[in-house]
Amino acid sequence: MSMNDDILKVLVSEEELKAKVAELGAQISKDYEGRNLVLVSILKGSVVFMADLMRAVSIPCSIDFMVVSSYGGGNTTSTGLVKIIKDLDGDLSGKDVLIVEDILDTGITLSNLVPMLKMRNPNSVKICTILDKPSRRKADIAPDYEGFAVPDEFVVGYGLDYDEKYRNLPYIGVLKPSVYEK
Ligand code: PRP
Ligand code: MN
Ligand code: MG
């Protein structure tokens, strides 16, 4: 049984992802030249994009990882709702932080995380996400670098999961409703 059987349609192909990541990597390399760049991957969703993006960045940088979880349900507001499950290893003082995400959805995760990271005295904090779903936004936040804006559909692959599965799909697809309705 193939994961592909659960996919309704391909939203972003492997080729499109590859081209976009190269473009983002080149832009970031230009913008952060001579700076103190640290790529901060928010696990688990960003793992695939992180691995590709870091190799598309041609300037020196360090990498770090964080695991966070959002509290509460759909009616949450944006105050102190992010819990750090695994913190960064490194000090952010004087660093130019670029948060790497797979998707900016309601924005609640990053609207809480960004102020927390800014308290650590970094030089700058910006956001790079491969997908943006602006129609779902609940917090006032926008990405500084983005790959593709996607409609409000159930997207999986390239790190994005449904029930912890489909992260290893090499493209971004829309899940068949029959998969989550059963
Ligand atoms: C997803 C996604 C983002 C976040 C975006 O992570 O990877 O990190 O939600 O949602 P928001 O903009 O509405 O806050 P999730 O919590 O599902 O964990 P995962 O990355 O381990 O899948
Ligand atoms: Mn995530
Ligand atoms: Mg998830």
Percentage of residues of the chain with pLDDT beyond 70: 95
Average pLDDT score over the chain: 95
* Structural domain boundaries in the chain: 14-69+80-153
ipTM of the complex, rounded to two decimals = 0.97
**pLDDT at position 76:** 46
**pLDDT at position 113:** 96
What is the third-level CATH fold of 14-69+80-153? Rossmann fold (3.40.50)
Average pLDDT over residues 136-144: 96
Residue nearest to atom 21 of ligand 1 (CA): 44
**Lining residues, ligand 1, CB within 6 Å:** 42, 44-45, 70, 101-109, 161
Mutate to test the pocket of ligand 1, among 40, 105, 110 (most ligand atoms within 8 A of CB): 105
- Nearest-angstrom CA–CA distance, 113 and 132: 17
105 is catalytic: yes
Residue 13: Cβ within 10 Å count: 13
Preceding peptide of 20 cis, ω within 30°: no
Q: What is this structure's pTM? A: 0.95
Could you tell me the two tokens for 146?
């983005």
Atom of ligand 1 nearest to the CA of 109: 14
C-alpha of residue 56 to centroid of ligand 3, in Å: 24
81 φ, ψ (degrees, to nearest 5): -105, 10
C-alpha of residue 182 to centroid of ligand 2, in Å: 24
Residue 104 has pLDDT above 90, yes or no: yes
- The active-site residue, picked from 6, 105, 132, 161, is 105
Atom of ligand 1 nearest to the CA of 104: 12
Closest CA to 3 of 164, 181, 182: 164
Q: Place 152 in a pLDDT band, splitting at 50, 70 and 90.
A: very high
Average pLDDT over residues 31-56: 98
C-alpha of residue 121 to centroid of ligand 2, in Å: 24
Percentage of residues of the chain with pLDDT beyond 90: 92
Atom of ligand 1 nearest to the CA of 106: 13
Reported as a single tens digit per residue, the pLDDT across 66-102 is 999 977 555 444 455 789 999 999 999 999 999 999 9
Q: Place 1 in a pLDDT band, splitting at 50, 70 and 90.
A: confident
C-alpha of residue 43 to centroid of ligand 2, in Å: 6
Evaluate whether 147 touches 6 at the Cβ level (below 8 Å): no
Reported as a single tens digit per residue, the pLDDT across 8-40 is 999 999 999 999 999 999 999 999 999 999 999
